[in-house]
Structure formats: structure tokens, C-alpha cells
């Protein structure tokens, strides 16, 4: 596998806030599959699934609202954002789920796996995470 210089990638998906949204969001990441290492791609899919599920469950009272997933791969950095019109929350909360907890692991997983993460919210709640992608491993989409 010869690494080739990457081309910047930006993608945006706007989904109905429904039980189908996590699956649709994972499918929307396919543009990254050939551009990052396989293990990183699977980590991104997991984190997006967790954050979109959180948006569906906690993103406000209107069940017909939306969830947006944006990602960009620029040089050696991958940034993913999941946004919704929900009330937001503090990123400083450091909840560690107990072994008997049946929920509450999503942000813990994001915090544990991502290189960086945070929450922005001015009218829209935007949870983001980033991974460093060494240039050597970024794969060109033209390669199959």
C-alpha cells in the first residue's frame, strides 16, 4: 500500500432526528473509508453513532427536528461535528459510567477514544471530536 498525498475532504449530512439517524450517519461516512487507516475509520463510525444517538435521545422536545453531521479531513487532521437544536450541556462533566449502568457511556467513549473533543453551543448544540491522522497514513480516494 503506497500512501499518496490526500485531497481535503468535507462532507455534511442533515438527517431527520429518528431511530434511523445513527445508521444513516454511519453510511454517510463512507467517503472517509479509503482516506484513513481502517482502525481509525471504525473509531469514527463508533463515535458518530454514539453522538447521533445522543442527539436523537436528548436533542430537544421536537421529535421531528434534525441532526447534522459534518466532517472534514484536512492534511493530517480529521474533525467531526454532530449538531442538533437541543438545549446543550457542559463538556466539563466527567461522568464515568459504572459497570452496572445501562446507559451514559456515549460521551465517555468519545472522551476516551478521540484525541480532542468538546461542545459548542450558541443556539445549536455542536459536539465535536478530532483525530490526528499522520500524513503518511492518509490514503487517496482514487486508490481502491
* pLDDT at residue 100 greater than cutoff 80: no
* pLDDT at residue 5 greater than cutoff 50: no
pLDDT for the residue 104:
55
* pLDDT at residue 3 greater than cutoff 50: no
- Global pTM? 0.81
Contact 42, 49 (CB under 8 A): no
Query: Between residues 37 and 121, which one has the greater pLDDT?
Result: 37
pLDDT for the residue 34:
86
- Alpha helix ranges (H) inside the chain: 21-27, 38-58, 106-113
**Domain 9-137 CATH (choose: 3.30.460.40, 3.30.1280.10, 3.30.565.10, 2.30.30.790):** 3.30.565.10
pLDDT for the residue 135:
66
pLDDT for the residue 144:
41
Amino acid at each position: 500500500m503506497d500512501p499518496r498525498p490526500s485531497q481535503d475532504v468535507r462532507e455534511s449530512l442533515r438527517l431527520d432526528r429518528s431511530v434511523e439517524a445513527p445508521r444513516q450517519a454511519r453510511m454517510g461516512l463512507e467517503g472517509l473509508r479509503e482516506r484513513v487507516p481502517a482502525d481509525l475509520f471504525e473509531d469514527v463510525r463508533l463515535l458518530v453513532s454514539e453522538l447521533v444517538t445522543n442527539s436523537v435521545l436528548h436533542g430537544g422536545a421536537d421529535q421531528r427536528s434534525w441532526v447534522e453531521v459534518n466532517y472534514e479531513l484536512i492534511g493530517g487532521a480529521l474533525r467531526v461535528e454532530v449538531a442538533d437544536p437541543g438545549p446543550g450541556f457542559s463538556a466539563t462533566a466527567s461522568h464515568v459510567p459504572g459497570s452496572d449502568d445501562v446507559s451514559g457511556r456515549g460521551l465517555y467513549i468519545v472522551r476516551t477514544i478521540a484525541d480532542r473533543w468538546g461542545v459548542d453551543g450558541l443556539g445549536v448544540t455542536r459536539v465535536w471530536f478530532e483525530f490526528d491522522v499522520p500524513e503518511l497514513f492518509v490514503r487517496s480516494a482514487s486508490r481502491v
